[in-house]
Every structure is written in C-alpha cells, then in structure tokens.
Amino acid sequence: MGKPKVVLGVSGGIAAYKACELLRRLTESGHDVRVVPTDSALHFVGAATWSALSGNPVSTEVWDGVHEVPHVRIGQEADLVVVAPATADMLAKAAHGLADDLLTNTLLTARCPVVFAPAMHTEMWEHPATQENVATLRRRGALVIDPAVGRLTGVDTGKGRLPDPAEIFEVCRRVLARGTAGPDLAGRHVVVSAGGTREPLDPVRFLGNRSSGKQGYALARTAAARGARVTLIEANTGLPDPAGVDVVRVGTAVQLREAVLKAAPDADVVVMAAAVADFRPETYATGKIKKKDGQDPEPIVLVRNPDILAEIAADRPRPEQLVVGFAAETDDVLANGRAKLARKGCDLLVVNEVGERKTFGSEENEAVVLGADGSETAVPYGPKEALADTVWDLVAHRLG
C-alpha cells in the first residue's frame, strides 16, 4: 500500500504561513501531500515553498498539465482533503459548488473526507452568510473546525484564528484513520471534563491528584474529529487546546461543577473524565501558612465536595441526555465499578485500574465500559484515543 494521499488546499489568508507547519507534519508522518493553493494564497507564501516542502508540483490552475486532467484526478485520488486556512470566500465557493480554479475543482471531485480549518476576522466568521455556508458544508458531511479565539492580524483579538497546526494535524490524522466512517457525532454537543481539581489550602499549597487529563483530551479530540461540538472543561492539565474545541479552564471542584452545570443544558452527552477531589480544606488561609517553632502543625479539616456526576445524572436538563462517568479503582475493580455505576446513576461508566505507574500520565489505558443496561465492553490495553473511540461508539449507538 502506498502512502495516504492528502491534498492540502491553501486559500488566501495571512495564516497561510502556518500551513507550512501542517504540511511538514503531514509529510514527516508518511503522507504524500499535494498542495493546491489559490492564487491569493501565493501572495502570502510562494509556490516554491509549497513545492519544496511537499516534493510535489504546485499549481493553482486547471490549465497546467492538462493531459493528466488534474482538476479531476487530484480530487479523485485523495484520501483526505484539508483546506487550511479556509477563507470566508473559500467556504462560500465550496458551499455553492463554484469551480473556478484547481482547488475548488478538487473539492468538487473529492469523494474522501474533507476538513476545513477556517481563519478570518471575527466579523467575517460571525456573518450569517459565512455561518450558513459552514452549516451547509457540515450538513454535507465536511468537517469544519471552529476557529480559535485569540490575536488576529493587527491588534484585534477574537474568534477567527487558525488553530495550532499541530492540532489541525491531530484532526487530520484521526479523520484519515476513520476512513469513510464520516462525522457520526455531527450536530451533537458533548461536554467533557478533564484533568484533576486542586483544592487550595493557602496561596501556595493545594490538595491535588495525579490525573494528567490525557484521557479527557483524547475524548475531546476524538469527538471533535467525529464532528461534535465539544466543550472541554479542564482542570490543571497544562495541555494545548485541541483544534475546534471550546476550552473552559477551572481549578477547583466547585468551579468545575459550575462550569459543567453551565455547559450541560444543551449537551447531548456529558462525560466526567476529570478526577474530582472528594474533599476540600474547610478553610482557605489568605496568607501562607507558617510553621511555628515548638508547635505541632494544625490539622487540616476537610469538607465534602459536591458529587458532580451524581448530580447531573439525577437532574438531567433533557431526559435523553447521556451521562458518562469514569471510575478509578485500585482494588476489586469490576465489583466496585458496578456498585459505582448504580450509585452515580450514569448511563456508562468507564472502569479502569489505577496506580502509581498505571494510567495516570501514561499514553495508554485499559478499561471495561459498563452500561446501565447491563452491557460490558472490554477495551484492551492501547492508546487512550482507542478507548475514547469506544466510548463515542457506545454513545453514538445510544443516541441513535
């Protein structure tokens, strides 16, 4: 089998330079990349750069190498087309099926998955024309990654930035791996919590846990690549924002609860992958706690934190909403998991065994997903994103 064939479409925005980094990641990970820029893209990055980095010829026109019928062949042969950056004009052309250059022709002939990574000024992104074009493209099965929020060209900031190329690459990798399975979570809103809460004692100390957040991030990235709108509520992970995902940062269990309750009302699924502290110090010292010579330290008095998972499972804003929990267990893993599923009242519970060198911080995981309907799905030891995909398979099946 040859290398997977990727078409990298580049339209004319200042973020075109970031597509060089995406191109490098794609070629270095064994993809055969054909760059198809628009004429305006070449104002930002020249054809020589695209050609040298891809090792393939570069053209914007259907009139070059006509004997090879490039306007049809490039799209037909592709395993993936990714347009990054996609300007408002490009989204409009794609939504309306215009074909006045090589890239727009390629988009019409491609039958493989298509990913658009839009980048533009906030006003252009928010304009009803652009939003309707995005909705049209999504309805037809394309994956349109929401732009990131941040600094735009010049001094303004807002939604419209091209996400980090490394994260667009992550989306491409997952979409390619799914082949023709398509974005089965399109139109769904999923809320995922990730990381571990920290309960402060004073301005410098906290009670925390070993959760790295990697499983929650794998869930968020996988859901986004399957077309879902994703709200990721992260506690103390320090991980980069996944492309197209709305990230909410929290610190403590109480803040996490607030953020989950705020995001949950229109969610189809809430997945509680975060390790939430069951207790917090009763008092917070506004100044650093000092040791006093000759005195024993003051005991730390703890109070219970709310059980967010049990609360959202018991009090669903919509009866059809699905709630997924995680159970980290060190002993009697399955028996404890079954009891926890019943106690928390969730639809699915991902049970895994944890320990100092197991699961926490690692790239791999092994788990059993228990269903309230009595089902048990064993997920063998493997990458956290494989477990994430199994969770979304079970969720997609239940959403119908």
- Binder of ligand CTP out of 176, 325, 359, 387 (CB under 6 A): 325
Q: How many CB atoms lie within 10 A of CB 96?
A: 11
> Which positions ≥6 away from 66 have C-beta within 8 Å?
none
- 33 or 271, CB closer to ligand CTP? 271
Cα–Cα distances (Å) from 132 to 16, 91, 95, 127, 129, in that order, read 24, 10, 9, 9, 5
Q: Residue 345 corresponds to which amino acid?
A: G
Catalytic choice (105, 209, 352, 365): 209
Q: Is 309 in the site for ligand CTP (CB under 6 A)?
A: yes
Taking the complex as a whole, the smallest distance from the CB of residue 230 to ligand CTP amounts, in Å, to 17
Q: How many CB atoms lie within 10 A of CB 202?
A: 15
User: What is the C-alpha to C-alpha distance for residues 7 and 10, in angstroms, rounded to an integer?
Assistant: 10
By the 8 A CB rule, do 241 and 148 touch?
yes
- Binder of ligand CTP out of 218, 327, 348, 391 (CB under 6 A): 327
- Binder of ligand CTP out of 328, 367, 387, 388 (CB under 6 A): 328
Q: Which stretch binds ligand CTP (CB under 6 A): 16-24, 157-165, 323-331, 389-397?
A: 323-331
- Binder of ligand CTP out of 184, 278, 366, 393 (CB under 6 A): 278
Which of 116, 115, 137, 148 lies closest to 244 in space, CA to CA? 148
- Quick one: 226 exposed, middle or buried, by C-beta within 10 A (0-12, 13-18, 19+)? buried
Taking the complex as a whole, the smallest distance from the CB of residue 344 to ligand CTP amounts, in Å, to 6
Q: Is 219 in the site for ligand CTP (CB under 6 A)?
A: no
- Binder of ligand CTP out of 42, 232, 245, 308 (CB under 6 A): 308
User: What is the C-alpha to C-alpha distance for residues 24 and 38, in angstroms, rounded to an integer?
Assistant: 19
- 17 or 279, CB closer to ligand CTP? 279
In the chain, DSSP assigns E strands to 5-10, 32-37, 80-86, 114-118, 143-144, 148-151, 157-161, 189-195, 199-202, 205-207, 229-235, 246-250, 269-272, 279-281, 302-304, 322-329, 348-353, 364-371, 376-383
Q: Is 184 in the site for ligand CTP (CB under 6 A)?
A: no
- 58 or 308, CB closer to ligand CTP? 308
Q: How many CB atoms lie within 10 A of CB 139?
A: 11
By the 8 A CB rule, do 40 and 12 touch?
yes
User: What is the C-alpha to C-alpha distance for residues 345 and 270, in angstroms, rounded to an integer?
Assistant: 13
H/E stretch holding 106: helix 102-109
Q: At what angle do helices 102-109 and 70-77 cross, to 10 degrees?
A: 50
Q: Is 281 in the site for ligand CTP (CB under 6 A)?
A: no
Distance in angstroms between the alpha carbons of the first and the last residue of the chain: 35
By the 8 A CB rule, do 277 and 305 touch?
yes
- 18 or 280, CB closer to ligand CTP? 280
Taking the complex as a whole, the smallest distance from the CB of residue 322 to ligand CTP amounts, in Å, to 13
**Number of residues counted as binding ligand CTP (CB under 6 A):** 13
Q: Which stretch binds ligand CTP (CB under 6 A): 122-130, 135-143, 261-269, 324-332?
A: 324-332
Taking the complex as a whole, the smallest distance from the CB of residue 283 to ligand CTP amounts, in Å, to 19
Q: Is 274 in the site for ligand CTP (CB under 6 A)?
A: yes
Is 365 annotated as catalytic? no
- Binder of ligand CTP out of 23, 81, 83, 272 (CB under 6 A): 272
Contacts with ligand CTP, 86-125, as mask; x by CB under 6 A: ----------------------------------------
Q: Is 326 in the site for ligand CTP (CB under 6 A)?
A: yes
Q: Is 220 in the site for ligand CTP (CB under 6 A)?
A: no
Q: Which stretch binds ligand CTP (CB under 6 A): 52-60, 128-136, 271-279, 295-303?
A: 271-279
- 102 or 309, CB closer to ligand CTP? 309
Binding residues for ligand CTP, rule: CB under 6 A, are 253, 272, 274, 276, 278, 305, 307-309, 325-328
Residues acting as catalytic residues:
209
